[in-house]
Amino acid sequence: MDLLGWDRCDVVVVTGDAYVDHPSFGAALVGRLLESLGLKVGILPQPDWTDPGAFLKLGVPRLFCGVTAGAMDSMVSNYTSLGRRRSEDDYSEGGRPGLRPDRAVLAYGNRIRQAMPGTPLVLGGIEASLRRLSHYDFWSDAVRRSILLDTRADILVFGMGERQIVEIARRMEEGLPLPGIAGTAVWAGSSELRGKMAEGAVELPSHEEVSSSPAAFMEMTRMLEAESNPWSGRMLLQRTDTRAVIVQPPAPPLETAELDAVYALPFTRLPHPMYEGPVPAWEMIRDSITAVRGCAGGCSFCALGLHQGKAVRSRSRKSVLAEAERIASAPGFRGTITDVGGPTANMYSLGCRDRAAEASCRRISCLFPSICRNFATRGSGYAALLDAVAGTPGVRHVSVGSGIRLDLAVKDPAFVKALAASYTGGHLKIAPESFSPDVLRLMRKSSLESYLEFCRMFDEASAAAGKEQYVLPYLIAAFPGSTEEHMRRLQEVLRSQHLRPRQVQVFLPAPMTMATAMYYTGLDPSGGPLAFVARRPTEKRRQLAMMLFREGDHKDGHGRPGGRRRVRRDKARTSWNPGMK
């Protein structure tokens, strides 16, 4: 600040991650965007949450203080799905654990209120986004009220926040009131609610109701999903004691030109030079490119899809190639672009073909139980995009590290051929999640047939390219509704395909997802009780053990369909969560 001649910042952003100036880190993206508007922005990474004075290192900002837990929910960063404290934090220098507090948004927000009385407080990021209303908290096994009420923040941003943060900054600069911004939530007292602040809002079951009634909690979750369309969703209101949280409809996604502009901002793509050790998360994504946002799958467990929304929007090829050129020209580039994708890589350039239908659609998923007739399934140009990135001077190899939606992939043979021939390094990670029709229905995932058909196509394409390659399936154990009988059927499918899963995750109930509502209430969203919910650690470990063939005499093999197998003895991890990746 001294070197720049600043006497104070306009905005200070507090984050639970180490500071990496890369577009995959939310604090960096918001900071660069606000900077492009001419604002003076400071980033305060991982301050000591026990000391209010630590939050004053950059002074009191002129406009507001923003808070994010980081790229992941802090409770997911700190604990495994079986409740154990993690020994590493990939978003901290050297992978050191303990540098972010539990429930970081709440901890940071409360300290900022102590250190900067009267300074407007803006919450954002995935942790705040998924706690904007009453929510089940797995770690305390309780329904907690909106984080807005616990922090007394002025406004909460949910979803991808570019539109919201720009409008918030504008209104604060001009002294205008904050309520009414799409993609935000505010709270109000009983006197304010008697005015027009919440006129026309759909009233959800109150916090007191959802805390005491599983049926009311499930109804709240269904109502929230039903109003998730950015263009036709309605304002929501939820009462808690004498107050209420008012949630606007989601903000419309950025269109192609707007996405291109955001990713053209002058990121250094490097950790801050104050760090002496590596930041593991940066090592993983440093040479990756986000080409698409949003996911039309609507998987019931996926917090990332819930956060970004189902409307798919893609960057232009010109923008993606420009980023590839920047990566390739950077010192230390090792020749490999590790990913070109997003929540679901092969949704690049797809999406709804009818914008009018998209604006009024009430479906939660464009792909489940069947693919919508308005959703484009071919001609994405994704394979051509990969070819173009691979042709960038200095780039020797390109990988696909993002998820692949199998029911879309089998409708695009050109993509599967390109994937097998050029963009798989011997092992392709895919996530069927389960092979049981009952469980797949609850997950809103594609069928076993889609998985088998994809494996067949990938196998044939690999053979045609002269490559011996393997599919590595990711599966979820102890999903709500999954019984030991489902696990035995899954074992039979794995045995018939000569497969042993390399990685298995135990279901982790992320706040606000439909799967978490099923876990907490024991109810099927379509009505009636679930057959079984594994809640005890012993029940979860048993399903995990069955999935890993630790019961029975199945040989520890791994291969691809067609009888070939490769012996592997990979230790399963129980903490991997695609919804929080």
What are the domain boundaries of the chain? 11-186, 430-436+461-581
Residue 350 pLDDT level (bands cut at 50, 70, 90)? very high
Encoding tokens for residue 109?
């927000």
Query: Rounded mean pLDDT of 24-49?
Result: 97
Give the angle 268-273-278 at the CA atoms, nearest 5°.
95
Per residue in 302-345, pLDDT (tens digit) is 988 888 999 999 999 999 999 999 999 999 899 999 999 999 99
**What burial class does residue 323 get, using C-beta atoms within 10 Å of its C-beta: 0-12 exposed, 13-18 middle, 19+ buried?**
buried
Q: Give yes or no for residue 551 having a pLDDT over 70.
A: no
Q: Measuring CA to CA, how many Å separate 216 from each of 210, 223, 398?
A: 5, 10, 48
Q: Could you read off the pLDDT of 43-53 as tens digits, one per residue? A: 999 999 999 99
Assign domain 11-186 to a CATH class.
Answer: alpha beta
**Average pLDDT rounded to a whole number, residues 277-281:** 95
pTM of the model: 0.91
Q: Which CATH architecture fits 430-436+461-581?
A: 2-Layer Sandwich (3.30)
The answer to whether residues 500 and 569 touch, using CB atoms and an 8 Å cutoff, is no
β 375-376/351-352 pair status: antiparallel
pLDDT of res. 191? 75
Between these two residues, 401 and 312, which has the higher pLDDT value?
312
pLDDT for residue 566 is more than 70: no
**CB distance 284 to 491 below 8 Å:** no
